[in-house]
Amino acid sequence: MGKTIAEKIIAAHIVEGEMVKGKDIGLKIDQTLTQDATGTMAYLEFEAMGVKRVKTERSVAYIDHNTLQTGFENADDHRFIASVAKKHGIYFSRPGNGICHQVHLERFGIPGKTLIGSDSHTPTGGGIGMLAFGAGGLDVAVAMGGGAYHITMPKMVRINLTGKLRPYVSAKDVILEVLRILSVKGGVGKIIEYGGEGVKTLSVPERATITNMGAELGASTSIFPSDEITKAFLKAQDREQDYCEIKADDDAVYDEVIDIDLSSLTPAAAMPHMPDNVKSVEAIGPIKVDQVLIGSCTNSSLRDLLRVAAMLKGKTVHPDVSVGIAPGSKQVFNMLAQCGALGDLIAAGCRILECACGPCIGMGQSPNSGGISLRTFNRNFEGRSGTADGQIYLVSPETAAASALTGVLTDPTTLGDCPPIEMPEKFLINDNMIVPPAPESEADKVEILRGPNIKPFPVTTPMEDDITAPAVLKVGDNITTDHIMPAGAKILPYRSNIPYLSQFCFKQCDEHFAENCKKAGSGIIVGGVNYGQGSSREHAALVPLYLGIKAVVTKSFARIHVANLINAGILPLTFQNEADYDSISQNDELALPGIRQAIENGDTVFDLQNKTTGKAIPVKLDFSKRQREMLLAGGLLNFTKQNA
């Protein structure tokens, strides 16, 4: 039987388990990446493991999220990460060098290799034919130490692309269409592979836009084949030697096939407040726009910004619209400057931001009250922009530029001819902002620089025999990690200070959550479907752990978050009958008597007792042997130490 692209890469990297769908498998990881908002914690965890030198082929630490330095905290974290990187064999991408996913694609990504990153958009690497997963920091730390990365062997979905995009329609419109079809939970447990004739009409950065935002489907990852286009991209990056061809076999078997005719697509937008709330720009109509932001790991490549510059050249942005541009990398920024496109953007009235995540994670540029903001980003969760009632629409660079000129949401295809852009044959290669690690012989001399904001992470304890705790919070469907542990300019600097962060936990859902947890001493959270979607931030598990959360009971979980809960030693349970969700009210007293024994026995269903109502509620404990052992040990760090 033929293999899919992902199956080929998995087969070449599997070190534990069998390639059977739904079963736990362990993969050898070739490369890792971290960013600063999750990196400080990941490196503290790496240090706690006591490994001297990373065992991967390439590990890179990026500084791109926490670059707004309104106090000492972020700069201290940058210095900490730089020193850890130098000591332990990790390349360090300095602040200003760009967004991790964009830089990694340009300078480090290799087709056929495995990559995990402490950021949910790591699947961007799928654009260059890598099997790339977003993961919690602890999983990345373990992979740096040479440990396998464990996932549930996913189902395979093929998206067959035919035809060619029309002028002014772009890769963002493709992934918005996929989101419209599949929804934010439609990719859970699946790898999305792209194939078909249409693939060869898309450049690597366009493919990367599509695999990047596959994260919003809840998919394990997304991947494109590696072909002549990939080769040309690597050649332009002076890395032709990294090329190898990878494609699915003709008789590869997929669990699901979706056909998309690229020529039929029109400009689309995801409306507030979910990335799958997609409509055509035409159907939404010419709503008045207050802000346009172009950038993020989804749409900040040279191709995207050259297109925007060509559309704005010689014109002025609408007087009522604030337009911000954040190039994805120093390479992109530098090339825009060299070819004059940067001048065109400045002349048109754009506000040029540094190459970093910036407004995507609420680091500045929050819109006005109730403001309508069009963004080329990937997430429009309520409040994420920093303005509680901000109305965020996710659009392509073309739609963003068109609307920046007219002041209303505008379908770019109505603007007449699309100005051509010329992509260079060679990119500008200058890796002077990537610091290589110290040679192993000098590693001992490198001093780790720790700022006062770095606080120890919460200790986990082995699973108790019985759990009794109140339902401290009951929430609905599609709760994001931004609900659980918000980000933004005011909170992000404290990513290495769990006690401080804890006061903001779930603030948007229940202002008194942290207080109530502290009063109760321990708690259980009750949730709906797709609980924990979005970011890979393990803080969404570590902070609840600090607040005494013992278990989370939901209708279903998002992939990375459930792994983070288990890594933290918090018990993730799912209702056997979804309707039982209704039988628990906030503050009910819940109990899991004999839970430790049940996990040891390998029980797959267990009764959760609602002591307030007297009802016994069957919940699923469906974990692999390794996950059960981790829960019993009190999380991955204890488990790794036990097995060391």
What residues make contact with ligand MIC under the rule CB under 6 A? 37-38, 65, 119-121, 134, 361, 379, 487, 534-537
Q: Residues 331, 378, 496, 536: which binds ligand SF4 (CB under 6 A)?
A: 378
Between 44 and 467, CB nearer to ligand MIC: 44
Residues in the chain: 644
Closest CA to 408 of 294, 312, 286: 286
Q: Residue 38's binding partner, choosing from ligand MIC, ligand SF4, none, with beta-carbon cut-off 5 to 8 A by kind? A: ligand MIC
Select the span of 148-156, 353-361, 540-548, 628-636 touching ligand SF4 (CB under 6 A). Answer: 353-361
Which residue's CB is nearer to ligand MIC, number 126 or number 534?
A: 534
Question: Looking at 178-186, 282-290, 357-365, 568-576, which segment touches ligand SF4 (CB under 6 A)?
Answer: 357-365
- How far apart are alpha carbons 100 and 103 in whole angstroms? 5
With CB under 5 to 8 Å by kind, the binding choice for 537 among ligand SF4, ligand MIC, none is: ligand MIC
Of 16-24, 354-362, 456-464, 497-505: span binding ligand SF4 (CB under 6 A): 354-362
Nearer CB in complex with ligand MIC: 131/356:
356
Give just the sign of the alpha carbon dihedral 78, 561, 192, 299: negative
In terms of CB distance, is 109 or 134 closer to ligand MIC?
A: 134
Q: CB-wise, 360 or 590, nearer to ligand MIC?
A: 360
Burial 330-352 (b: 16+ CB within 10 A, else e): bbbbbbbeebebbebbeebbbee
Both structure tokens of 45: 């965890």
Cβ pair 137, 148 in contact under 8 A = no
Minimum gap (Å) between residue 536 Cβ and ligand SF4: 9
Residue 36 beta carbon to ligand SF4: minimum distance, rounded to whole angstroms: 10
Closest CB 89 distance from ligand SF4, rounded Å: 24
Tokens of 450: 């720790």
For residue 131, give both structure tokens: 């099997």
Going edge to edge, which strands form the sheet with 91-93? Answer: 131-134, 114-117, 31-34, 58-62, 91-93, 434-435
Minimal distance, residue 480 CB to ligand MIC, in Å = 9
CB of 31 to ligand MIC, least distance (A): 17
Q: Pick what 99 binds: ligand SF4, ligand MIC, none; C-beta below 5 to 8 Å, kind-dependent.
A: ligand SF4
Task: State yes or no: residue 121 binds ligand SF4 (CB under 6 A).
Answer: yes
The CA distance from 353 to 256, in Å, is 41
Residue list 51-90, contact with ligand SF4 (CB under 6 A):
65
- How far is Cα of residue 347 from the mean position of the Cα atoms in its chain? 34
Bridge partners, 557 (sequence order): 531
Give the nearest distance from C-beta 122 to ligand MIC in angstroms. Answer: 8
Identify what 536 binds: ligand MIC, ligand SF4, none; CB under 5 to 8 Å per kind: ligand MIC
- How far apart (Å, rounded) are the C-alpha atoms in residues 471 and 366? 34
Q: Work out how close the CB of 349 gets to ligand MIC at its nearest, in angstroms, rounded to a whole number.
A: 28
Q: Is 402 exposed, middle or buried (0-12, 13-18, 19+ CB in 10 A)?
A: buried
* Residue 499, both tokens: 């006690």
360 lies in the binding site for ligand SF4 (CB under 6 A): yes
Report whether the peptide linkage leading into residue 273 is cis, meaning its omega lies within 30 degrees of zero: yes
Contact (CB, 8 A) for 318 and 406: yes
Give CA angle at 189 (608, 130), nearest 5°.
Answer: 140
CA 506 to chain centre: 20
- Is position 172 an interface residue for ligand SF4 (rule: CB under 6 A)? no
Please give the size of the binding site for ligand SF4, defined by CB under 6 A: 11
Long-range contacts of 243-250 (CB under 8 A, 24+ apart): 243/111, 244/111, 244/112, 245/111, 246/5, 246/8, 246/9, 246/111, 246/112, 246/129, 247/5, 247/195, 248/2, 248/3, 248/4, 248/5, 248/8, 248/158, 248/193, 248/195, 249/2, 249/3, 249/4, 250/2
**99 touches ligand SF4 (CB under 6 A):** yes
> What, of ligand MIC, ligand SF4, none, does residue 125 touch, CB below 5 to 8 Å by kind?
none
Question: Which residues are registered as beta bridge partners of 591?
Answer: 468, 609
Residue (434 or 491) nearer to ligand MIC, CB: 491
In the range 297-336, which residues lie near ligand SF4 by CB under 6 A?
Answer: 297
Residue 269 token pair = 């937008």
Q: How far is the CB of 562 from ligand SF4 (least distance, A)?
A: 20
Q: How far apart are CA 249 and CA 252, in angstroms?
A: 5
Residue 296 binds which one of ligand MIC, ligand SF4, none, with CB within 5 to 8 A depending on kind? ligand SF4
Check residue 122 and report its DSSP letter. G
Please report whether residue 392 would count as binding ligand SF4 according to CB under 6 A: no
**What would the two tokens of residue 506 be?**
């779930």
Q: Is 296 in the site for ligand SF4 (CB under 6 A)?
A: yes
Minimum distance of ligand MIC from residue 65's CB (angstroms): 6
- Give the nearest distance from C-beta 354 to ligand SF4 in angstroms: 12
Candidates 135-143, 197-205, 355-363, 632-640; binding stretch for ligand SF4 (CB under 6 A): 355-363
Nearer to ligand MIC, 97 or 413 (CB): 97
Judged by CB under 6 A, does residue 400 bind ligand SF4? no
Find the shortest distance in angstroms from Cβ 482 to ligand MIC. Answer: 7
Which residues contact ligand SF4 by CB under 6 A? 65, 99, 119, 121, 296-297, 357, 360-361, 377-378
